[in-house]
Amino acid sequence: MPTAPKFIGDFLEFAFSNRICKVSVVSTEMISKKVKAIIFKGTFPNVKFKIGQAIIIRVDNRNYRNYTPSKWDSELGTFEVIFHIHGNGPGSHFINNLQTGDQLTIGLPRGFNIYKQEAKHHFFFGDETCISVFKSLKDKVNGDENNYLGILEMDDISIQELKNTGLMLDMVPKSINKAEYAIDSLRNLDVKIWDLWKNGYFYLMGNAKSIQTFRKALKEKGIQSNNIYTQPFWADGKVGL
């Protein structure tokens, strides 16, 4: 429900008040001109956060948008989200304007744990919107002493500026044909690396069309569907997935 009249939004907040929380902004950091990391604080001691779960943020009277925490600590009542400030919608404008001390309403995390526990090798494909979820996956993979690699398809400005994501991922430019350079990068992977990762687990997130194109390339390389997880975060011309 990305958009709803104000009175319905107000009613739902009242009716589902146990799934909703007021939080405040503890700190913000522009890690590039278009990517902003924000730490929030609230009170939600009973939330059992699972990797890949999304929160929903009320970005104005009528609009709600999904975002995925990169870190979550129910005991401390803090979480971090990394946002792409793409500038095309109310969510992006709202996040761009958030400052330390601001208060907002969020819907508490919902969804499945997307982490494939038994896989030794994890492969991430996405864009700026996925830095947050990939950071939480990376921490889990490292904690389990497993391995990850992957590709981020990014705007040129992000490639130039984003040295500080904390993710060891190949960065390639976005393309009109979606995922074109990412697929080149996949095809150029060292044979020894591919021998390890081809039996791993693949997380494809971000732009819907890029996911579709990259998934096709993986299938052509022999990856089975049940080793590929897909989650579109946005689609060109479409409001709030």
Ligand X SMILES: Cc1cc2nc3c(=O)[nH]c(=O)nc-3n(C[C@H](O)[C@H](O)[C@H](O)COP(=O)(O)OP(=O)(O)OC[C@H]3O[C@@H](n4cnc5c(N)ncnc54)[C@H](O)[C@@H]3O)c2cc1C
Which CB, 132 or 165, lies closer to ligand X? 132
Which CB, 88 or 164, lies closer to ligand X? 88
The contact set with ligand X (CB under 6 A) reads 54, 65-68, 81, 83-84, 86, 88-92, 129, 132-133, 233-241
Of all residues in the shown chain, the one whose CB is closest to ligand X is: 89
Shortest separation between residue 155's beta carbon and ligand X, angstroms: 8
Shortest separation between residue 189's beta carbon and ligand X, angstroms: 26
Amino acid found at 116: K
Dig out the tokens for 51 from the structure: 């990797």
Shortest separation between residue 126's beta carbon and ligand X, angstroms: 10
Shortest separation between residue 168's beta carbon and ligand X, angstroms: 19
Which CB, 193 or 241, lies closer to ligand X? 241
Shortest separation between residue 80's beta carbon and ligand X, angstroms: 10
Which CB, 78 or 147, lies closer to ligand X? 78
Which CB, 106 or 197, lies closer to ligand X? 106
